[in-house]
Amino acid sequence: MSDIHDLIPDLSHLKGVRVIAAMSGGVDSSVIAVLLKNAGADVIGVFLNVWDYSREDVAGHGSCCSLDDAYDARRVCDQIGIPFYNMDMRGNFRRDVIDPFIADYESGRTPNPCERCNRFVKFGALLEAADRLEAKYVATGHYVQRRDDETGVHIFKGNDARKDQSYFLATISREQAERVLFPVGHLEKDGTRKLAEHFKLLTAGKHESQDICFIPAGDRIAFLKQEGSTAGLREGVIVDRDGNLLGRHQGIAHYTLGQRKGLGLPGGPWHVVGLDGDSATVVVARPEEAVIHEVDVDGVTWIRRPEPGEAVTARVRYQMQPAACQVSENKLLKIVFDQPQKPTAPGQVAAFYSGDELLGGGIVASAV
């Protein structure tokens, strides 16, 4: 039992405080809800209904936020004895996530729908709902850590490097960060499951979601067609940086910057280094040429602005280690990496760190 109790965070300061538990129907959110309840917080479970799943069969695809997930979230709230609300966020999700997702693929950008969902829905519209419910905080199952001191809120990477989700929170504002709690951010995934089993939660053995929630089968091309998108599916040409014709394609939406597999081009290997939505052109280059040195970032927000001379690292793709860089601000924030990096795509997140602390981030506008 002592091992279990070592996993439980001290949430005693939340006794009597109203907190919204963002319920996804998975094990992480189930555990945060029971931890808050046992700490004496006034917990309200809220499930965000973001997508009309009646239009497709999502069973077995490992999606999140499905009808089954809503049912599981409600059952867990009943099990631990807290109120449950199913909140209709379909309009917000359509406007802030789906429509930009489609527009990005049509233009040649590579969207990051999880980041937009966090920024606009989970930490945007949900915080507005928290105001209506007179809740001080929203708690989520993200694997990041919050530590406050005399200077205010600080957000750090999760202890489980395999599950760290700080990259996807890089664009939230300091004001949003001040109102969000992460009760399992100090745990590894196995620890969260141990707590779920300890509390005998109904979701303790549930598999976690992997796909984008509104593309449960992982087929973005089928989704774009279903949505009536055509601009990103126009036939076009594949050329090298000198304009030499190497092949043809069925639409730029099939490609992402940095892609090297599935190109089917002679004389490879090749990497995708450019996507032009207007001309439906895919540009490729040799691996040694498919690196970037500088990235322009738009819409930057800071949870904590770096001090003058403070060493800053940046991630411009989820699957990369933060890399040393120099940062300067004009109309756009510019990153100059100390060493060349693999390509990133406009539309992706640029996340800034000082050590393990998440400082803030923005959206990649261009990279060279």
SS3 266: coil
Range 99-121 average pLDDT: 92
Q: Specify the range with the lowest mean pLDDT, choosing from 54-63, 146-155, 187-196, 322-331.
A: 54-63
The closest of 153, 151, 150, 149 to 172, measured between CA atoms, is 153
Share of the chain residues as helix, strand and coil, in percent rounded to the nearest 5: 30, 30, 40
Alpha-carbon gap, residue 168 to 318, rounded angstroms: 8
Range 322-340 average pLDDT: 95
Task: Write down the pLDDT at residue 52.
Answer: 65
The closest of 65, 59, 25, 15 to 45, measured between CA atoms, is 25
Q: Answer whether residue 257 shows pLDDT above 90.
A: no
Q: Where are the domains of the chain?
A: 9-141+183-198, 235-289, 292-367
Task: Write down the pLDDT at residue 61.
Answer: 42
Q: Which fold has domain 292-367?
A: Elongation Factor Tu (Ef-tu); domain 3 (2.40.30)
Task: Write down the pLDDT at residue 7.
Answer: 95
Range 147-155 average pLDDT: 96
Q: Answer whether residue 308 shows pLDDT above 70.
A: yes
Same fold, 9-141+183-198 and 235-289: no
Express each pLDDT in 57-105 by its tens digit. Answer: 444 444 555 678 899 999 999 999 999 999 999 999 999 999 999 999 9
Over its C-alpha atoms, the chain yields an Rg (Å, rounded) of 22
Q: Specify the range with the lowest mean pLDDT, choosing from 204-208, 210-214, 361-365.
A: 210-214
Q: Confirm if 238 and 249 have CB atoms less than 8 A apart.
A: yes
Phi, psi for residue 266 in degrees, rounded to 5: -75, 155
Task: Write down the pLDDT at residue 331.
Answer: 86
Task: Write down the pLDDT at residue 64.
Answer: 56
Alpha-carbon gap, residue 95 to 19, rounded angstroms: 27
Range 239-250 average pLDDT: 95
Q: Which ranges constitute the DSSP H helices of the chain?
A: 2-7, 27-38, 67-80, 90-93, 99-107, 113-116, 126-132, 174-177, 189-198, 220-226
Confidence of residue 171 (pLDDT cuts 50, 70, 90): very high
Give the number of residues written for the chain.
368
Confidence of residue 215 (pLDDT cuts 50, 70, 90): confident
Which of 325 and 262 is assigned the larger pLDDT? 325
Provide the token pair at 324. 């040393």
- Residue 120: DSSP 8-state: I
* Number of H-type helices and E-type strands within the chain: 10, 17
Residues 6+ apart with CB under 8 A from 176: 119, 123, 124, 127
Q: Which ranges constitute the DSSP H helices of 138-274?
A: 174-177, 189-198, 220-226
Candidate list 65, 114, 213, 325, residue with the active-site label: 213
- CA distance between the termini of the chain: 54
Q: Answer whether residue 1 shows pLDDT above 50.
A: no
Range 141-169 average pLDDT: 95
Residue 95's CB is within 10 A of a number of other CB atoms, namely 12
Active site residue 114: no
Express each pLDDT in 24-38 by its tens digit. Answer: 999 999 999 999 999
Candidate list 64, 65, 77, 117, residue with the active-site label: 117
Range 261-285 average pLDDT: 92
Provide the token pair at 227. 């949505």
Q: Answer whether residue 2 shows pLDDT above 60.
A: no
Which DSSP string corresponds to 323-349?
A: EEEEEEESSSEEEEEEEEE----TTSE
For the chain, what is the mean pLDDT? 92
Looking at the domain covering 235-289, what would its CATH class be?
mainly beta
Residue 279's CB is within 10 A of a number of other CB atoms, namely 11
Q: Confirm if 272 and 258 have CB atoms less than 8 A apart.
A: yes
Question: Amino acid letter at 362?
Answer: G
Task: Write down the pLDDT at residue 75.
Answer: 97
Q: Confirm if 350 and 363 have CB atoms less than 8 A apart.
A: yes
Omega within 30 of 0 (cis) for the link into 183: no
Which of 213 and 18 is assigned the larger pLDDT? 18
Q: Answer whether residue 114 shows pLDDT above 70.
A: yes
CATH of domain 9-141+183-198: 3.40.50.620
Alpha-carbon gap, residue 27 to 304, rounded angstroms: 31
